[in-house]
Amino acid sequence: MKVRKLIGISVAGMMLVVGSNAYADDHEFKILPIQLDQLEKTNENSLTEEPITLWLAEDDMKIEINGAEMELGSDLPYVTDEDVVMIPLRHVVEALGYEITWYPDTMSMDVVKDAMMTTLTINEDAYVVNGENMTLESIVALTEGTTFVPVSFLSQALQANVTTKDNGTISIEDMAQWVNKSGTITNIVEVNDVTQIHINGFQYGTVLIVTEETEIVSEAGDVLTIDDLELGMALQAEHSLATTMSIPPQTVANKVVVKETPEQAYIGTAGEITAVNESDEAEVQIVIDGQKIGENSYDEVKLDVTEDTEIINAADQKELTVQDLQKGVTVYAFYGIGVKESLPPIGVAEKIFVELHEEVEDDMEWVEKSGDITNIVQDKEVTKVHINGFQYGTVLIVTEDTEIITEEGNPLEIDDLQLGMNLDVEHSLAMTKSIPAQTVVNKIVVKETSEQAYIGTAGEITEIDESDEEVVQIVVKGKTGRKQL
């Protein structure tokens, strides 16, 4: 009997319904659900409660890039046993303007476009985007000399727009559109010979990656260079719609327009306000303890806040008042190089970016969610608690303000959290557009603690042994190796 796969798409209103089907002429078909993004309505009653089912044989699947059908030769898309659609990597990404570099020693490859780089390895279900580790639906496969990846890789890693037409064609559109954003330069960093411009701080900010193609001009249209950019400058940036899944997100800058240049060169300190003092020479004097921004800045500094000091909310760029500068608030503060040498040095604040202030915290909306801890990761100095796996999970960013307690209300520390724990969490409504989404967690309630410490493996079930009537044994193969459970 010849075995083939058939793609079944059933639509009832806006719901997808998956069923099974047998086909005559000695053919057996496997049903694969694919989202149907475009339906041609022949009349107003086309979408009814009765499912409409469309069928497509696997070898009829086609790919089009930006509206043009691709010539794939023998490198046709296929469907895995886990119902994952796999597409030929090189054909597609090169059509989208990416370059591939192959490393035979490690069986890995870099997919690069401008400053965006993705690394893939054969037989692994993970990829790295600009340093961020993510997971694929299926392993990267090498079939007869051609590398295949899940079609979802294009939307997750490359931010392409992927849809399935009603004739079964996989339509891929390059999302290299440009969007505009205004902000103030809060840091300028050189990373591996690539200049990164940080605007609007950390939590609400964006990292603009400057390439050779990035146009930098003044508001009058005069050509500038990267060396003309300074801390505190107000910008209008045109950047790629494609961003990394980090906080803050990173994206390629197409154009940078300098709208406002400070009268003097700024230096800066990013950190927490540890004291707010009365001052005869200013409205208030604040003490900031954190990290210096730039070579000639200070980790700790006293700053006089005058009536000329700009105080800006990083979340919405709106003006704040001196009353918003309170102890415990996180700020990016900029001041002139003429500071008074003391311990700590004393300067005059020119511009202060407020990351979190009391009014924002009071108005912040929180969302409740339950789940099990599936990973705990230390990313630099930030702890991230992953719940509910990858595809349907959430990454909870733990801050100094995160409350961690037992169900009885007893306080816990971040070190008390373990794999497998069942949690009720309260997190910010603001989330990244990554998979999984990342968000700041306000409160963690540990509902269930395991009797023993867990270790874990994330991967694919490759074998199931049901020879024992009381115990089923599975083999899981993933990043950490092959484990029998």
Q: Which of 38-52, 61-75, 188-202, 383-397 bottoms out in mean pLDDT, i.e. has the lowest?
A: 38-52
Tell whether 85 is covered by a domain: yes
Any idea which residue has 């939307």 for tokens?
A: 155
255 and 132: one domain? no
Structural domain of residue 300, as residue ranges? 276-355
Question: Strand 206-210 and strand 250-260: pairing?
Answer: parallel
324 and 372: one domain? no
CATH label of the domain that carries residue 161? 3.30.457.10
- Start-to-end Cα distance in the chain: 35
Tell whether 171 is covered by a domain: no
Beta bridge partners, 347, equal 303
84 and 202: one domain? no
Nearest to 374 by CA among 387, 383, 361: 387
Q: Which of 7-21, 314-328, 471-485 bottoms out in mean pLDDT, i.e. has the lowest?
A: 7-21
Reported as a single tens digit per residue, the pLDDT across 97-118 is 889 999 988 899 999 876 577 8
3-state class (DSSP) for residue 359: helix
Tell whether 215 is covered by a domain: yes
408-440 burial string, b = 16+ CB within 10 Å, else e? eeeeeeeeebeeebbbebbbbeeebebbbebbb
CATH label of the domain that carries residue 252? 2.40.50.140
Reported as a single tens digit per residue, the pLDDT across 257-308 is 999 888 788 999 999 999 999 888 889 999 999 999 978 899 999 999 999 9
135 and 10: one domain? yes
Contacts of 205 (CB under 8 A, 6+ apart): 183, 186, 198, 199, 248, 314
390 and 347: one domain? no
The span from the CA of 246 to the CA of 207, in Å, is: 10
Query: What is the Rg, in whole angstroms, of the alpha carbon atoms belonging to the chain?
Result: 27
3-state class (DSSP) for residue 466: coil
189 touches 232 (CB < 8 A): no
Q: Which amino acid is at 203?
A: Q
Any idea which residue has 């409350």 for tokens?
A: 403
Q: What is the DSSP letter of 114?
A: T
What residue ranges in 297-436 does DSSP mark as E strands? 300-305, 310-313, 330-336, 346-356, 366-379, 382-387, 394-406, 422-428
Residue 209 burial (C-beta neighbours within 10 Å; 0-12, 13-18, 19+) = buried
Q: How confident is the model at residue 76 (pLDDT cuts 50, 70, 90)?
A: confident
Tell whether 268 is covered by a domain: no
Cα distances from 274 to residues 54, 328, 387, in angstroms, run 64, 6, 33
Any idea which residue has 């597609």 for tokens?
A: 92
Tell whether 24 is covered by a domain: yes
187 and 212: one domain? yes
Give CA 63 to chain center in angstroms: 27
* Total domains in the fold of the chain: 4
The span from the CA of 141 to the CA of 112, in Å, is: 19
286 and 234: one domain? no
387 touches 381 (CB < 8 A): no
Return the pLDDT at 338: 86
Return the pLDDT at 482: 32
Looking at residues 187-203, what average pLDDT do you find?
Answer: 88
The span from the CA of 358 to the CA of 285, in Å, is: 18
Q: How confident is the model at residue 175 (pLDDT cuts 50, 70, 90)?
A: low
Element (H, E) at 92: helix 89-95
What residue ranges in 165-282 does DSSP mark as E strands? 170-173, 178-191, 194-199, 206-210, 215-218, 234-240, 250-260, 266-277
Q: What angle do CA 70, 72, 77 make, to 5 degrees?
A: 100
Return the pLDDT at 22: 35
The span from the CA of 116 to the CA of 470, in Å, is: 51
Q: Which of 301-310, 363-372, 443-452 bottoms out in mean pLDDT, i.e. has the lowest?
A: 363-372
Beta-sheet strand order (sheet of 481-484): 459-465, 473-478, 481-484
51 and 125: one domain? yes
Tell whether 302 is covered by a domain: yes
Looking at residues 181-194, what average pLDDT do you find?
Answer: 87
Residue 113: phi, psi to the nearest 5? Answer: -150, 120
Nearest to 8 by CA among 40, 38, 27, 33: 33
Tell whether 248 is covered by a domain: yes
Tokens of 331: 């700020």
In the listed set 294, 329, 355, which residue is the last one of a domain according to the structure? 355
Tell whether 454 is covered by a domain: no
Query: What percentage of the chain has pLDDT greater than the value 90?
Result: 32
242 and 290: one domain? no
Return the pLDDT at 260: 82
76 and 150: one domain? yes
Q: Which of 259-263, 307-311, 401-405 bottoms out in mean pLDDT, i.e. has the lowest?
A: 259-263
In the listed set 355, 373, 407, which residue is the last one of a domain according to the structure? 355
Return the pLDDT at 425: 93
In the listed set 309, 325, 355, which residue is the last one of a domain according to the structure? 355
Q: How confident is the model at residue 400 (pLDDT cuts 50, 70, 90)?
A: confident
Looking at residues 154-174, what average pLDDT do you find?
Answer: 80
54 and 17: one domain? yes
Any idea which residue has 């690069």 for tokens?
A: 112
Looking at residues 416-437, what average pLDDT do you find?
Answer: 80
396 touches 387 (CB < 8 A): yes
17 and 54: one domain? yes
